[in-house]
Amino acid sequence: MANVHILNHPLIQHKITLIRDNSTGAKEFRELVDELALLMTYEVTRDLPLGEVEIHTPIKRTRSNVISGKKLTVVPILRAGLGMVDGVLKLIPAAKVGHVGLYRDPETLEPVEYYCKLPKDLEEREFIVVDPMLATGGSASAAISFIKQRGGTNIKFVCLVAAPEGVDKMAKDHPDVDIYTASLDEKLNEDGYIVPGLGDAGDRLYGTK
Ligand code: PRP
Ligand code: URA
């Protein structure tokens, strides 16, 4: 499937199994989402461009690598995406954080917008949009459209679990956006939940069910 990267690192796969498990409580679930976001950020940033700077080691003057290119912004899709932000920031502490607030209408499954706050210089930035779940793809597609409407062009999407339906929608709406996921699951059920999935990510993160 075009533009989808499945991150098969054993630590990522092990932790995904733990968060899928129904007996994992909110505290452990939050910790695992944080750790997964950090591990996935390591993989997602593999292609960042490098430049050289001159430094002085205790021994001699030398040239050494630093990350160059566009400044990074992480954009969580509220609310469940918030659970992934700290994990990204642990590896990219200088990143700015934009927020897009969307919830999925339980009847229509269409995304409803309630908040959008992004940095100003969007053209100058690379975006990493985070949300644990890519189900119908409505929320991710809408969030990425907000960023593009305001001038963003360089965008990656990172989720923990994806459904084929969401991947197809993203490929249709945003073929330029690479998707990084720990798992491509079987399908959606009649209520729009990912099968086997992990249930409602927001509710499991924040203990609201
Ligand atoms: C969940 C999830 C995604 C969305 C995925 O959020 O965190 O944002 O559903 O579904 P989709 O691909 O079909 O759009 P939800 O709407 O439950 O809101 P919450 O994060 O506030 O719980
Ligand atoms: N949102 C979730 O939190 N879980 C799903 O399986 C689908 C949408």
**What is the arithmetic mean of pLDDT over 62-86?**
96
Which candidate in 79, 104, 125, 204 is catalytic?
A: 104
83 lines ligand 1 (CB under 6 A): no
How many A from CA of 198 to the centre of ligand 2? 8
Q: So what's the pLDDT on residue 184?
A: 98
Each residue of 6-61: pLDDT tens digit?
999 999 999 999 999 999 999 999 999 999 999 999 999 999 999 999 999 999 99
200 is catalytic: yes
197 lines ligand 1 (CB under 6 A): no
First to last CA, the chain: 34
Answer whether residue 1 shows pLDDT above 90: no
How many A from CA of 117 to the centre of ligand 2? 23
Residue-wise over 159-197: b if at least 16 C-beta within 10 A, else e? bbbbbbbbbebbbebbeebbbbbbbbbeebeeebbbeeb
Give the pLDDT band (50/70/90) at residue 69: confident
**Beta strands 178-184 and 133-134, pairing class:** unpaired
206 lines ligand 1 (CB under 6 A): no
Q: So what's the pLDDT on residue 201?
A: 98
- What does the chain come to in residues? 209
pTM score, whole prediction: 0.96
What number of H helices and E strands is found in the chain?
6, 13
Q: Which of 71-80, 98-107, 124-133 has the lowest mean pLDDT?
A: 98-107
Q: Percentage of the chain with pLDDT > 90?
A: 93
- Residue 94's region, left for phi above 0, alpha for psi from -120 to 50, else beta, is alpha
**What is the arithmetic mean of pLDDT over 117-124?**
93
For ligand 2, atom 4, the nearest C-alpha belongs to 200
**Closest ligand 2 atom to Cα of 202:** 3
Each residue of 150-165: pLDDT tens digit?
999 999 999 999 999 9
Identity of the residue numbered 19: I
Each residue of 9-21: pLDDT tens digit?
999 999 999 999 9
Q: What dihedral angle (degrees, nearest 10) is formed by the CA atoms of 56, 62, 65, 66?
A: 30
Q: So what's the pLDDT on residue 86?
A: 98
Burial of 7 (0-12, 13-18, 19+ CB in 10 A): buried
How many A from CA of 162 to the centre of ligand 1? 12
Q: So what's the pLDDT on residue 2?
A: 61
Answer whether residue 99 shows pLDDT above 60: yes
Give the pLDDT band (50/70/90) at residue 149: very high
CB 126, CB 146: distance < 8 Å = no
